[in-house]
């Protein structure tokens, strides 16, 4: 039986035209396969279709092979690119590790001490096409650097955590080269470079800087004029209103509410200015007691974009990659875990205010930390030692001495102190008795605590917050200012140190603007990781007559540091106006008394201590055991950065830090009396001597002042006190791939580059 193809109604002959290379059809001659000659025609069709499909398949195979080769080549190039980028990334990590504890740099820093690729990379890239031996890692020159203002309105700075600050930047090129070698495809080489911007920001480029959790919960209205940063979490709430005029940054979370209670206990407005100058609330609507009513870190994945959209980059947290800003050479602060019986604290920044010990002492913290310590940098040291006195109450007394360091250069008061053979620093002692002879009054007075028959203090005073009687060491800042500001450089008749302390630029200078007062401290070997040596808890330093501070005219020329810095390892009390005229009609919480900055007669000043308490001029030592109503304060004005410790809040325990508004402590009844403050508030460490926390019973020792506080214009313009510590952060910019010629040319432009293998990372 013959069956015709039902696919085509009429048979068609397909002819191949050798010229046109195409098929033509004759519908009349096509018959079904198996019907005489028609069967042959159908067979021809099958062969032709098979051939066509073969041609197409061959073409596809050739295309696939080419595509596979191209893909492999691309993958090899990508492998080399990734390796080159990872080399540069390793270089960045190595620089961060090196420069965390390094304060100064030379131009050829990375030529004298090249970056090296670790040998472990060879094992990491084993069984790959990457050729470890051909890797290169080269660091460029380290420029001196320059001061830059990070403009908050520039789009490129929208997510920069340093926006709104003045930073000292050094931009360092890091170059990388990687090679892959495939057995059939050959070698692929990739060159790249990126800039590591190393940026130092002085601590006082912040209105408030906390090395731990930062809490705001003020009662009266509070205005924060400058940048605010926390290395921990940041808690925000207010009874009335709290406004931030600049950036608000935290390395942890930003949360509305109380750390102490874990809830929203205050419903005042918390306003942060956006890039357009508009005030935008943290509260977004709903129940004031609900977490969901606030734009903060509790929003989870939505928080990052919500904060950027709401405040244009003026608010940032860990979710915005805000870095932890430690002072150079100082390790991270680690709080204690209150749920355990052990003390896990690591209070490393406390080392900045500690006294010097021999480099062989068990508590010596290393040369890098030593070089950052204020006791090491000081141009004048006053040492207070507890000495045995069996005939006196308590069986002890205090001996006070003053000295300067014997430095490498008499012309440079910031040069390195020389060392004795036992690892201590060489001292040149100064006579405090001569000060009394020349000036008619002592520079330092010891007031050992004593009471009369009725229990009222007659010497020293009682700290009701600490519930501690205090031996008080009074330092007359006004007299020190007279000695330094009006001192005779060559040991004239009125020189209280007979020429032993030099103030004559061009010949010898000992004054560098930094005074350190060493109070008695625990020198025993510490079992703590941080090796902290706390000051004694019942002795404190008090500053008197501080309206004018030391700031001699010669520092305004010749490259010497202007301003005044005082540091102590113990508790500090500041009585009366400090570095200000005390006139409420001049100056403000931000501007100097004369309204100037670069030409101001007001010094740029700083105070460092374990804790800092502000006392008004009406503070009466004899009434310090009485309730606050017997100790009424008066208007007080302080112009200085305050670097101090705190006692951290522990949730639901009764222990509170008191918040940023209580970082400076108080012991009087202020009750609406103004405390005017312009400066920068910094909490770097936990207090180790003044360890009494803030509690709900704080009315037993003080009533809060009217806080008229602001960020000092001097600091805002980059005029910082002597020895101001720097924080350091790193920013990657300007990544680029290079051709071989661009790479080679860039290396030849590096000053001091030696093209041998060690300079290329091996």
User: What is the predicted pLDDT for the residue at 120?
Assistant: 83
- Local structure of 432: helix, strand or coil: helix
User: What is the predicted pLDDT for the residue at 4?
Assistant: 41
Closest CA to 666 of 619, 709, 710: 619
Separation of alpha carbons 270 and 275, rounded Å: 17
Separation of alpha carbons 344 and 689, rounded Å: 18
- Local structure of 88: helix, strand or coil: helix
- Local structure of 297: helix, strand or coil: helix
Closest CA to 719 of 685, 670, 678: 678
- More confident of the two residues 271 and 101: 271
Instruction: Compute the mean pLDDT over every residue in the chain, rounded to the nearest whole number.
Output: 89
State phi, psi for 431 to the nearest 5 degrees.
-90, 115
Helices (H), 408-461: 432-439
- Local structure of 735: helix, strand or coil: strand
- More confident of the two residues 686 and 47: 686
CB 631 within 8 A of CB 669: yes
Closest CA to 208 of 226, 186, 188: 226
Query: Which tens digit of pLDDT belongs to each residue from 82-139?
Result: 999 999 999 999 999 889 888 888 999 999 999 998 888 777 777 788 888 899 999 9
Closest CA to 403 of 516, 505, 564: 516
Closest CA to 250 of 288, 202, 206: 206
Closest CA to 616 of 705, 693, 533: 705
How, if at all, do strands 146-149 and 136-139 pair? unpaired
- More confident of the two residues 330 and 9: 330
Banded pLDDT at 717 (limits 50, 70, 90): very high
How far apart, in Å, are the Cα atoms of 753 and each of 190, 608, 615? 21, 43, 59
Q: Is 755 exposed, middle or buried (0-12, 13-18, 19+ CB in 10 A)?
A: exposed
Segment 601-606 shows an average pLDDT of 97
CB 181 within 8 A of CB 199: no
Q: What is the pTM of this model?
A: 0.87
Banded pLDDT at 54 (limits 50, 70, 90): low
Q: Which two tokens stand for residue 57?
A: 């398949």
Q: Which two tokens stand for residue 406?
A: 């014997």
Angle at 549 (CA atoms; ends 546, 553), nearest 5 degrees: 160
How far apart, in Å, are the Cα atoms of 553 and each of 42, 135, 485, 561, 718? 113, 56, 7, 11, 20
- Local structure of 381: helix, strand or coil: strand
User: What is the predicted pLDDT for the residue at 334?
Assistant: 96
Query: Which tens digit of pLDDT belongs to each residue from 340-375?
Result: 999 999 999 999 999 999 999 999 999 999 999 999
Q: Give 2's contacts (C-beta < 8 A, 6+ positions apart).
A: 32, 34, 35
Over pLDDT 70: what percentage of the chain?
A: 90
Banded pLDDT at 60 (limits 50, 70, 90): low
CB 350 within 8 A of CB 685: yes
Segment 535-562 shows an average pLDDT of 93
Closest CA to 246 of 176, 150, 180: 150
Separation of alpha carbons 200 and 198, rounded Å: 7
b/e string for 354-384 if b means 16 or more Cβ within 10 A? bbbbeeeeebebeeebbbbbbbbbbbbbbbb
How far apart, in Å, are the Cα atoms of 246 and each of 77, 153, 164, 303, 544? 46, 12, 7, 20, 34
Query: Which tens digit of pLDDT belongs to each residue from 641-679?
Result: 999 999 999 887 778 899 999 999 999 999 989 999 999
**DSSP conformation class of 604:** P
Terminal CA-CA length for the chain: 86
């Amino acid at each position: 039986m013959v069956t015709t193809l039902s696919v085509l109604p009429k048979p068609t002959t397909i002819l191949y035209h050798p010229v046109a290379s195409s098929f033509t059809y004759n519908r009349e001659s096509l018959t079904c396969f198996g019907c005489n000659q028609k069967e042959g025609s159908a067979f021809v069709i099958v062969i032709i279709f098979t051939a066509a499909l073969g041609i197409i398949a061959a073409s596809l195979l050739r295309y696939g092979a080419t595509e596979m080769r191209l893909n492999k080549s691309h993958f090899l190039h990508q492998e080399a690119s990734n390796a080159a980028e990872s080399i540069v990334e390793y270089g960045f990590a190595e620089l961060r590790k090196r420069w965390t504890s390094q304060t100064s740099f030379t131009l050829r820093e990375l030529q004298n001490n090249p970056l090296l690729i670790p040998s472990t990379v060879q094992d990491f890239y084993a069984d790959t096409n990457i050729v470890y031996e051909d890797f290169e890692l080269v660091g460029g020159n380290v420029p001196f650097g320059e001061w830059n203002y990070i403009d908050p309105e520039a789009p490129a700075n929208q997510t920069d955590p340093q926006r709104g600050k003045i930073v000292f930047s050094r931009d360092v090129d890091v170059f990388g080269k990687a090679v892959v070698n495939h057995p059939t495809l050959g070698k692929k080489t990739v060159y790249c470079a990126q800039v590591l911007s190393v940026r130092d920001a002085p601590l006082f480029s912040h209105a408030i800087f906390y090395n731990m959790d930062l809490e705001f919960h003020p009662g009266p209205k509070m205005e924060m004029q400058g940048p605010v940063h926390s290395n921990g979490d940041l808690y925000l709430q207010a009874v009335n209103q709290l406004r931030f005029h600049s950036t608000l940054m935290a390395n942890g979370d930003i949360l509305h509410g109380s750390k102490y209670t874990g809830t929203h206990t205050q419903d005042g407005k918390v306003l942060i200015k956006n890039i357009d100058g508009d005030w935008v609330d943290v509260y977004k609507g709903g129940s004031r007691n609900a977490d969901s009513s606030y734009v903060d870190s509790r929003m989870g994945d939505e928080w990052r974009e919500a904060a950027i959209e709401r405040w244009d980059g003026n608010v940032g947290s860990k979710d915005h990659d805000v870095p932890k800003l430690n002072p150079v050479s100082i390790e991270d602060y680690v709080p204690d875990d209150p749920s355990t019986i052990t003390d896990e604290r690591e209070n490393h920044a406390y080392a900045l205010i500690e006294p010097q010990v021999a480099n062989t002492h068990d508590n010596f913290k290393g040369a890098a930390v030593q070089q950052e310590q204020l006791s090491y940098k000081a141009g004048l040291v006053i040492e207070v030692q507890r000495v045995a006195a069996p005939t006196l109450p308590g069986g002890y007394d205090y001996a006070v001495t003053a000295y300067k360091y014997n430095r490498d250069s008499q012309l440079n008061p910031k040069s390195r102190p020389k060392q004795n053979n036992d690892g201590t620093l060489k001292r040149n002692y100064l006579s405090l008795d001569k000060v009394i002879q020349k000036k008619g009054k002592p520079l330092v007075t010891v007031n050992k605590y004593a009471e009369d028959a009725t229990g009222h203090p007659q010497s020293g005073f009682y700290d009701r917050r600490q519930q501690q009687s205090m031996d008080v060491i009074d330092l007359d800042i006004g007299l020190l200012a007279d000695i330094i500001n009006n001192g005779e450089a060559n040991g004239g008749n009125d020189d209280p140190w007979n020429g032993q302390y030099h103030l004559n630029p061009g010949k010898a200078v000992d004054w560098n603007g930094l005074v350190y007062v060493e109070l008695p401290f625990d020198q025993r070997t510490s079992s703590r990781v941080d090796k902290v040596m706390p000051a004694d808890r019942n002795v404190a330093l008090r500053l008197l007559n501080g309206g004018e501070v030391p700031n001699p005219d010669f520092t305004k020329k010749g490259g010497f540091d202007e301003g005044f810095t005082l540091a102590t390892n113990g508790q500090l009390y500041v009585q009366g106006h400090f570095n200000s005229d005390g006139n409420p009609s001049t100056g403000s919480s931000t501007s100097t008394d004369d309204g100037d900055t670069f030409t101001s007669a007001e010094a740029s000043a700083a105070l460092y201590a374990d804790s800092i308490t502000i006392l008004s001029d009406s503070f009466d030592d004899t009434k310090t055991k009485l309730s606050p109503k017997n100790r009424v304060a008066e208007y007080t004005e302080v112009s200085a950065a305050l670097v101090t410790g705190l006692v951290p809040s522990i949730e639901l325990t009764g222990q509170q830090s008191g918040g940023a508004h209580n970082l400076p402590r108080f012991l009087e009844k202020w009750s609406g009396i103004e405390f005017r403050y312009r400066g920068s508030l910094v909490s770097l460490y936990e207090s180790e001597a003044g360890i009494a926390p803030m509690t709900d019973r704080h009315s037993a020792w003080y009533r809060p002042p009217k806080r008229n506080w602001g960020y000092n214009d001097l600091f805002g313009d980059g005029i910082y006190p002597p020895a101001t510590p720097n924080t350091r952060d790193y920013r990657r910019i300007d990544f680029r791939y290079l051709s071989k010629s661009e790479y080679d040319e860039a290396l030849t432009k590096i000053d001091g580059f030696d093209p041998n293998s060690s300079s290329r990372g091996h």
